[in-house]
Each structure stands twice: as structure tokens, then as C-alpha cells.
Amino acid sequence: MTGRSLTGAGDLLELVRSGRAVTRGALQQATGLSRATVGQRLDRLFRAGWLREGAGGPVDSPLGGRPSITLEFDDAHAIVLAADLETRHARAAVLSLTGEILAEHSGTLAIEDGPDAVLGELGRWFAELVEKAGHRAEEVCGIGLAVPGPVDLESGRVVQPPIMPGWDGYHIRSRLARAFTEHTGAGPLPVLVDNDANLMAYGEQRTAYPDCSAFVLVKVSTGIGAGVVVDGSLYRGIDGGAGDLGHIRVPAGAEALCRCGSYGCLAAVASGGAVARRLAAAGVPAASGSDVRDLLASGHPEAAALAREAGRQVGDVLATVVTLLNPSVLMIAGDLSGTSFLTGVRELLYQRALPRSTAHLEVVTSRLGERAGLVGAGALVVEHLYAPERVEERLLAMGV
């Protein structure tokens, strides 16, 4: 909200949601608005069902008196749907407006089957989940979707995704909204789409590291991607291509053909898919990053050795990332994010990066696990719908 006056109902809601001003008096002080004007703005938010009164706060005056009534964002007035697509598997959930998962489902869903079939099936999952959570379809305010490819945020379309055949330029938003309507009869909903590593980073940073001003998450599964959160906002680049670490060229991959069609990409030598191919060549049954994850969990020695070497390759690249961005938290997530891979990352990262770049760096693993993308997708929808300028639009559309 920097750079403009804090005068609208949306601005007041943002102050309450963020905890910066949670009484009428504090809102007057923060905005410079009169008591009557603050009351009028709040009345609109109460009528919309977005605010509620909480318990009385402390008495500010030394002379005593009645405690101030606190204001709270009412997270019970709507719910959010979220889904996280991987190459062969998907997870979907119903979330509260504060990020609590109310119901979830995971199952096989092959992204190579194409967007029409996959998004149609997601619509069916969503309909069943809403009922399972004990809510009505009309209570859903929006849908968030995480996909394993670069996304143009403005259009919501994936752009030349290496591991999503048939999805390039497809209008995901309208198809998913239509699929939800087909299975529920509810009206059209806003749909937001973003890269899976971005949304994992957003969910993890907001949940576990809210005060971290420079946060990097690296997801290593079938492919390799990174999400970057700076000052609480996702950094996506000019067209959604930021964080595509998997297609940085590395010397060790000179002879390795990547799924993007080029030789030498990091993903071709250090992703879960690459490790799975090496294990399969050695006679160990493995077809994907999830298979490698299962082998690592069972203590398979060859899988552990290959995962550590993959970690070293990724750590070499991350030394440059850490030097460039100077984050305070570097999180490793995805199928390979176990001890062996993390050991390899740390070996090369601390060897290649300058001590100045790593002096205050935490290298950690995921807190939210497989739910990170869902939490991030839900948060993306909520932040979009309750942004101050959009609150004004929505209130007017409601006639409030």
C-alpha cells in the first residue's frame, strides 16, 4: 500500500488482516480518517461478512474505561480450492481463507493426458471435496492451481513447458472454471495459475518464515525449479520464467539430452527423473522421482549415492544463486530432498560460494511437505481477492 493514501474499505481490511491496526481507534490513527468515515468503511465490510468483532482489547487510558473492541478478518465466510499437478500425480484440497486444509485428495493424474482431460477430472475432485468438507459450492471464492512449468501470470497460460506436452498456451483458467461449474452447477469463479515451485515457496515462506525478506525454494522432482520470495512477494521475472534452474547448462551434462530438447541441462543429470534413469540402467526398478524417493526412504545404497552426486551438481549451481540473491533461507524440497541429496548440495554450495554469501544462510528442508503447493495456491487466491483495490471492486459488485 506504499505510495497511496489508505482511505478505502479495502485498505482498512488489509490493516486488520495484517494485524497492523485491529481497533477502530487504531484504524483512525493509521489512516487519518475521521471516526465517522472509518465507521462507514467498516460497515460495508461487516455487511459483506468479511469482518467480525473479537474480544475487547487492553484499555489504553490510565483513567480506565471500556476496553476497545478488536476487529478480526472473518475467515468463515468463504472457502478456497487448490490443486497441485505433478507429472503423474495430483493433489487437491479445500482450504479456509487462513490456509487451514479442510479436506484433501490425492491420486494418479497423468499430465501427458492433456489439459482438457486433467482439468475436467480436477473439476470432479473439487466437487467431491467441497461436499466432503461440509460446504456448498457457492461458498467457494476462487481456485488456485500449481503446475510444473513456466506460467505467464497475466494470461494464466503455461509457456513452452518442457514436461507438459499439449499444454503450451492452453487457456487453463476458463477450462478449470468450466469444469467446476459442470460438476457443481455453481457460477464462474476466478482461477489463478502459477508455477509449482513458486507456490511451494510462497506457502513455505508465509507459513514458517514470514519475516524472511529473501527466501529461495528449490524443488527437485521429475524436473528442477526454484521459487523466489522477496519482501513477501513472488519474483517471477518478466513473463514467469524466473527460477527455471533445471535448464541451466552444466559441464557434467554435456552428453545428456534433456526433455526440453537441449543437451547439458542440470535437470538432465541431477533431477529425480535423471537419477531414476541411471538406476534403471543399473537394473534397479525406477521410472520417476517418486520411485527414487521411495528407494531413498528404504535406504537403498545406490540410490543414496546417486542422490548425493545429484545434490553436488545442484549445489554447484546454487552457489551462483546464493551469491546473486543473498537469501537468508534456502529450502530444498521435492522427491530428492532427503539427507543424501542435501549433503551433496551443502558440500558444493559451501565450497563454491563466498563465505560472505553463506554466513547468514540457513539451508533447510520443507516444513509443509507435499502440502506446500496447496497452501501456496490457496494463499495466492486469498491475497488476490482481498487486495485493497479488488476489495472495492467486489464490494461494489455485491451492492455493498
- Has residue 332 got a pLDDT over 50? yes
pLDDT in tens, 104-127: 999 999 999 999 999 999 999 999
The pTM of the full predicted model, rounded to 2 decimals, is: 0.92
**64-68, 173-177, 241-245: least confidently modelled range:** 64-68
Instruction: Please state, as a whole number, how many other Cβ atoms lie within 10 Å of the Cβ of residue 31.
Output: 19
The dihedrals phi and psi of 370, each to the nearest 5 degrees, come to -70, -10
Pairwise CA distance, residues 234 & 328, whole Å: 15
pLDDT-based confidence at residue 66 (cuts at 50, 70, 90) = low
Please, what is the angle between helix 24-31 and helix 9-18, to 10°? 120
> Using an 8 Å Cβ cutoff, are 91 and 83 in contact?
yes
Averaged over 257-286, what is the pLDDT? Answer: 93
